[in-house]
Structure 1
Amino acid sequence: MAFWRDKWKSAGPRVAVVAHDLAMVWVTWLGLHWLRLGVLAHPPRIPLWSTEILLVLVSQALVFWQVGLYRGLWRFASVPDLWNIFKACVLGLFAIVLGLFLYNRLDFVPRTVLVLYPLVLMGLLGAPRLLYRAWKDAQNENLRMNSVRILILGAGHAGEALVRDLRRFGTYQPVGFIDDAIRLRGTKVQGVPVLGRVQDVAEIARETAAKLLVIAMPSVDASALQRVVMACERTGVPFRMVPRLQDVLEGRSLPGELKEVAIEDLLGRKPVLPDWKAIRGWLGARSVLVTGAGGSIGSELCRQCARHGARRITLLEIDELSLMTIEASLRRDFPDVELLPILGDCGDQAVISYALSKAEPEAVFHAAAYKQVPVLEAQLREAVRNNVLASDTVARACCDAGVGTFVLISTDKAVDPANVLGATKRLAEMMCQALAAQHSTRFVTVRFGNVLDSAGSVVPLFREQIRRGGPVTVTDPEVTRFFMTIPEACQLILQASAIGTHEAIYTLDMGEPVPIRLLAEQMIRLAGKQPGRDIAIVYTGLRPGEKLHETLFHADERYRPTFHPKILLAEPREVEAAAVQGAIAELRAASARYDREALAEWLHAAVPEFRPIGQHAATYTGSSTVVAFPARNARKI
């Protein structure tokens, strides 16, 4: 019984609509006959039911169904629905004429009836739908009397669509638009007035008693968005924004969802737009292996590989929880992609050999690495073991297995390295360059700057400090960094991998560096607080190994553009393969002995441009020996 009740709940309204429309067809056909024949001196008797009426109903019903009249809902009836009804009425007339011609040669059917039939029927079908919508809108209007009053910034297509969506919910009341376009001043969009400019939003919000501001400018650039956000912050009213189309298409936001303004929305440059056709052409139907698959970069890299056509993805991860998390996420979102999870250390020769034999990958993305600058300054042995020796193990195993492409994920800190992270990553780049000259495997190195919201990065640290009420700690008021988002970094990796160069170092033209002080202030404001008043900013001084400013390019690496306007190709500096391989062998031996002094000496010898800086230049302490690197170009705090 419950089954049939549920069935009626879902199908009942549609059956009622079909019955209504067929009743209108019956009323129209008989009514027009009565009107036309009623003027005769001796009008014929018009039966309420006949074979002719049955043919009319069947013909019109088939046309209704074919046109798709019952796919829409009366609640959202609009001009396109009226056009659909008009088409159904006209096509229905042709079907009726054909059916009656075959039945009785249209005997006793007045021509006036045929001419007026589609027009009258359209009115009888359209009017109830529009009246029903008006009634529902009136009900929502009553609800809106106690609803949240919203002021929308941006009277373009996004703002107009937002008004329509808000009216359907009924719990929000758009009270006005804010837009700088002079031509829109004093006009109305969807019946909502355009009240003024963005710079006047504080005054307009106060006059309209707005309780929420919504930024409906999904295509605006970062500098303009910063101006809009600052204007919203001055009002003291909460604000949200309509997500960008790219975020919706890539699954980072839901259609119709209002999201908080994120710090990545305020980056001082436009996001890089990849050439997806080239990426899919290279990646499609391939088997790939990702080391460090559970990390910030590794996990997003796995998602993008799955999204853009990879046939099989092998997840190599040392942390069991991270491996389980990324595997579950991929199986949920990409059920058609074959996944091969492997728990283990990629620096273990047995683990990487097993993974390569099971996966048979055509490309390996080496994302496993230690990357926290202050930590690695005091942990030289682990930095060398993971960032250099493990990379060498994976790269050599790929060469032995005949892998087509090996991608090393590096960092801008490898340019003129001033800390252990930069030095170990630079040595890993040199190792790849040395191997590329001896093997057919294609070696690709990708450098990029700081990644927003990655594990251990400054953004989640600031967010947690703001949540606790501060203070927010910044190392130096002048320190700057290049920033990119996690998806953007992974798109760069895939784009660079798709470029068919045997041995290359790619970097992203990342525009202007972002002051960390400004980043902290923006995050505090986005949290609805004021820097210095609600949340203090404390300057703690540069940490060991940290620079004031990072550089993207080395003086001896000549960069040239690629087919992608934002990706540059560096001409690698000459390296002596035998010397690099000898240094790695010595580092491996020193690592096995946990000889920090020897590790420091060989890292300096292998990477002569390594110049530690800062008040606390890196110091590596062994059992009885201390090796202190000189603090060059140190800046007093």
Structure 2
Amino acid sequence: MKSNIRKIGIFSVDIILINLSIIIAYYLRFGLRMPLDYLKVYFQMAVFVTFIKLLVFYYMGLYRPIWKYAGIDEIINIFFMVCIANGMIIIGIYFLSLNVPRSIYVIATLIDLFFIGGTRFIKQIYNRLTFQENIFVKRKRKRVMIVGAGEAGGLLIQSFKNHPSSNRVPICLVDDDSHKLGRKINGVPVLGNRDMISFLAYGKKIDEIIIAIPSINKKDLAEIIHECKKTQCAIKVVPSINEIKEFTGNIQDVLLQKMRQVNIEDLLGREPVDLNIEEVSSYIENKVILVTGAGGSIGSELCRNIGRFNPSKVVMLDISEENLYNLENEWKIHYPHIPYETVIASIREEDRLREVFATYHPDIVFHAAAHKHVPLMEKNPGEAIKNNVLGTWNLVKVAHLFNVKRFILISTDKAVNPTNVMGATKRLCEMIIQGINEVSSTEFAAVRFGNVLGSSGSVIPLFKKQIEQGGPVTVTHPDIIRYFMLIPEAAQLVIQAGAMAKGGEIFVLDMGEPVKIDKLARDLIRLSGFKPDEDIKIEYTGLRPGEKLYEELLMAEEGLNNTKYQKIYIAKPMKITMEEIEEKIEILKEVLDKEDKEIIKALQTVVPTYHTSNDLF
């Protein structure tokens, strides 16, 4: 109803303006001495002239644009439609030999341009007049620097000018293209490149820096953010190209409304994974896939990515009903066409696993279920062995029994020269994989990587909670470093490695550069709008049981071979027999009901590279 009333109102205004332009044209031509004959002809032609002009305007799309986003294209279109409409009327006058000076409609063309164009752009004109501070409207606006003098930067400037309510005024742009230096984009000057960000921010009293390069790669984004962090400005990022494609609506609105705060993932500079779709599809499509630990951070992301490749069914196994319930609800929304089963089960129970495999007959297994928290496992070594080692032992035996095609273990960098119970148990799991692969038709392999940013139990959720509470943020040691990757990146690389598996490999993922946890904490405090050591204190609590200052990604005796994928390597497999594996399992089973000291001692026996730092020794 409102839309129809608005359209009628617009038509009515245009009818008035069309006729008013002719009256003004007569006045400009004759003044107040207009001959009555001309006036009589005008009244006879008024309906016809009005109809012709409205018809041309409608046919050429005058009533379709959203005018608050209009630009040069719409101005050109108005020019052509006004000229065509008045030209048609002049031609009609000529052929009908009407007593009307043709100059009237030449003048009317100019007046139509002013009236028809002016009414469409009046809101934009008003916004521009009131845009700058201290002209007509007195109010404080954020002084903005835009990084990126491209199309997105130009659209963002237009958006600020069309939406005064954003309370932003663009002061300058920076861009690494030297050809743009000194030029203007929509009236805003390009004053330098990224190296001048901090200098310009200080000199121009900038309040906010917006990175407006949707196509930017992660490495360059991280470098620009690093420069921006040298200032005291708030930092925002426009959506990426892939994110923009997901949104509907005008691009100016998308850029303005979907701007986001810089997050900690941006600082890592990790590039998205480019999966070999054909290779991955060939081993997942129309297959039954079982994921253990499916409700966890890695397990759930594995399920999301597996769903992209049209498996015949995904079996999601976890001991946590809440995690599975959440994943099930998400699956129904994103993959309603792909069958799934949510299975509550523990990998500690071999009989239950046999039931699951007998029911669903999985072709591929991704084994992500594990106890991963280092300090907790130091205090509960028996539980770590029951879940991580014996649970994996149960699973590989059942996978072998049911002729699973491929089995992928999710391992960790903490398995390399382990100094903690968790790492030692995962190292033994890698041994199990390599041992059973020698006697099984199933292709067993492991994928080893470091910490996953934002996963449950990682430092990021802890730091965020501590910041919300006003601090302090606790860091174990000022020099402690860790390797990090993003959850989607880790899951996708695991799936890609799975496509390459022939059996017996330990795939090592490229974790990039190590990150100092102290720097990570400080960055997160800044991104939350606070100053480290001033607004939020940082406390150093000392290394926790089982922790070391740095993690390694492969053992000293392992070589590292390249694969056709830059981010995936293969560690040289160790020689171990099933008899040795079974002997190690029996040693651990015998001590499970004994004291923690005996359990850890037995774990050292079966994992020779394990050197404990546990207080029990």
Of residues 142-151 and 561-570 in structure 1, the stretch that sits farther from structure 2 once superposed is: 142-151
Instruction: Compute the displacement of 1:275 (Å).
Output: 2.0
Distance 2:571 2:301 in 1: 25
Cα distance, 1:325–1:76 mapped onto 2, change above 3 Å: same
Query: Is 1:79–2:72 an aligned residue pair?
Result: yes
* Aligned with residue 185 of structure 2, among 186, 189, 205: 189
The correspondence of residues 551-562 of structure 1 with structure 2, limited to 5 A, is 551-562=552-563
Matched residue SS, 1:410: strand
1:426 deviates by 1.4
**Quick one: distance in 2 between partners of 1:92 and 1:359?**
72
- Give the whole-Å Cα distance in 2 for the aligned partners of 1:135 and 1:564: 56
Q: Of the candidates 175, 179, 190, which is equivalent to residue 174 of structure 2?
A: 179
Secondary structure of 1:342 counterpart: strand
1:267-278 aligned at under 5 Å gives the runs: 267=268, 269-275=269-275, 277-278=277-278
Q: Tell me, yes or no, if the aligned pair for 1:280 and 1:309 is still in contact at 8 Å.
A: no
Secondary structure of the residue aligned to 2:261 is coil
Indicate yes or no: 2:155 matched with 1:161. yes
Within 5 A, what are the aligned runs for 1:57-136? 72-81=65-74, 128-131=119-122, 133-135=124-126
Q: Which amino acid aligns with 1:75?
A: K
The equivalences for 1:268-417 within 5 A come to: 269-275=269-275, 277-278=277-278, 281-282=281-282, 283-284=284-285, 286-307=287-308, 309-310=310-311, 312-417=313-418
Indicate the larger mover: 425-434 or 346-355: 346-355
C-alpha change, 1:144 and 1:568, in structure 2 (3 Å) is farther
Alpha carbons of structure 1 residues 295 and 169: separation in structure 2 relative to 1, 3 Å: farther
Matched, 1:611 2:610: yes
Alpha-carbon distance change, 489 to 223 in structure 1, aligned in 2, over 3 angstroms = closer
Q: Post-superposition shift, 1:449? A: 0.7
Q: Is the 8 A contact 2:317 2:344 kept in 1?
A: yes
For 2:259 and 2:49, the matched residues in 1 are separated by: 55
Q: Is the 8 A contact 1:155 1:189 kept in 2?
A: no
**Cα–Cα, structure 1 residues 173 and 584, in superposed 2: closer, same or farther, change >3 Å?**
same
1:238 aligns with 2:234: yes
Change (3 A) 1:191 1:321: same
CA distance in 2, matches of 1:320, 1:499: 33
Structure 1 Cα separation of the partners of residues 354 and 78 of structure 2: 66
Task: Decide whether the 8 Å contact of 2:219 with 2:270 is kept in 1.
Answer: no
Cα distance in 2, alignment partners of residues 241 and 279 from structure 1 = 34
Is the CA contact 1:232–1:239 (under 8 Å) kept in the aligned structure 2? yes
Match of 2:468 in 1: 467
Deviations 1:327-354 (A, max 9, x none): 2233344444434222232332344344
TM-score by length of 2: 0.79
User: In structure 2, what is the Cα distance between the partners aligned to 1:174 and 1:52?
Assistant: 44
After superposition, what is the alpha-carbon deviation per residue over 1:149-182, rounded to whole angstroms, capped at 9, x for unaligned?
A: 2322413334323223333432232231242644
Q: Is the 8 A contact 1:63 1:88 kept in 2?
A: no
Structure 1: stretches of 5+ with no match in the other structure: 1-7, 30-40, 97-106, 620-627, 629-637
**Aligned residue in 1 for 2:92:** none
Q: Distance in 2 between matches of 1:574 and 1:150?
A: 64
Kindly state the Cα deviation for residue 276 of structure 1 after the two structures are TM-superposed.
5.2
More displaced 10-residue stretch of structure 1: 528-537 or 379-388: 528-537
Secondary structure in structure 2 of the residue aligned to 1:175: strand
* Counterpart in the other structure of 1:455: 456
Match of 1:3 in 2: none
Residues paired across the two proteins, number: 591
CA distances 1:105-127 after superposition (whole Å, capped 9, x unpaired)? xx9799x99xx9xx999998666
Task: Tell me the amino acid that sits aligned with residue 467 of structure 2.
Answer: I
1:537-548 residue pairs with structure 2 within 5 A? 537-548=538-549
CA offset at residue 369 of structure 1? 0.9
Contact 1:297-1:490 at 8 Å conserved across structures: yes
Does the Cα contact within 8 Å between 1:279 and 1:308 map onto a contact in 2? Answer: no
Q: Give the residue type in structure 2 aligned to 1:606.
A: V
Q: Counterpart amino acid of 1:321? A: E
Correspondence 1:412-451 to 2 at 5 A: 412-451=413-452
- Residue 334 and residue 61 in structure 1: after superposition, are their counterparts in 2 closer, same or farther (change >3 A)? farther
Residues 150 and 214 in structure 1, CA contact (< 8 A), matched pair in contact too: no
Percent sequence identity is: 32
Deviation of 1:498 after TM superposition, in Å, equals 2.6
Aligned to 1:32: none
Please name the residue that 2:209 is paired with: 213
Residue matched to 2:31: none
Q: 1:359 to 1:135 in 2, by over 3 A?
A: farther
Deviations 1:599-622 (A, max 9, x none): 4455334322x33243x45x3xxx
In 2: Cα distance, 1:510 partner to 1:166 partner:
40
Deviations 1:383-406 (A, max 9, x none): 111111112222333333343332
CA contact 1:152–1:159 (8 Å) conserved in 2: no
TM-score by length of 1: 0.77
**Worse-superposed segment, 362-371 or 462-471:** 462-471
Distance 1:286 1:168 in 2: 53
Bigger drift between 356-365 and 514-523 goes to 356-365
Separation in 2 of the partners of 1:73 and 1:258? Answer: 22
Task: Please name the residue that 1:635 is paired with.
Answer: none
- What code does the residue aligned with 2:395 have? V
Could you say which residue in structure 1 is the equivalent of 2:263? 262
Of 2, 20, 32, 1:9 maps to: 2
SS in 2 for 1:497: helix
**Residue in structure 2 matched with residue 150 of structure 1 by the alignment:** 143
- Rounded to whole Å, the distance in 1 between the matches of 2:439 and 2:266 is 44
Q: Distance in 2 between matches of 1:585 and 1:387?
A: 15
The 8 Å contact of residues 415 and 424 in structure 2, kept in 1 or not, is answered as: yes
**Matches of 1:613 and 1:218 in 2, distance apart?**
48
Residue 545 of structure 1: SS of its match in structure 2? coil
Q: Distance in 2 between matches of 1:330 and 1:542?
A: 40
Please state how far the C-alpha of 1:211 moved relative to its aligned partner.
3.5
**Are the equivalent residues in 2 in contact too, given 1:587–1:598 (CA < 8 A)?**
no
Provide the secondary structure at the position in 2 that maps to 1:313: strand
What secondary structure is seen at the aligned counterpart in 1 of 2:461? Answer: helix
Q: For the residues of structure 1 that align with 2:69 and 2:312, how far apart are their CA atoms?
A: 42
2:542 partner SS: coil
438-447 vs 374-383, which moves further: 438-447
Go from structure 1 to structure 2 and tell me whether the alpha carbon gap of 1:517 and 1:53 turns closer, same or farther (over 3 Å shift). Answer: closer
In 2, the alpha carbon distance for the partners of 1:23 and 1:501 equals: 79
CA RMSD of aligned residues (A): 4.6
Structure 2 alignment gaps of length 5 or more: 23-36, 89-94, 248-253
Q: 1:49 to 1:178 in 2, by over 3 A?
A: closer
Paired with 1:308 and 1:144, the residues of 2 have a C-alpha distance of 56
**Distance between the aligned counterparts of 2:148 and 2:512, measured in 1?**
30
Counterparts of 2:280 and 2:143, CA distance in 1: 42
1:134 corresponds to which letter in structure 2?
Answer: I
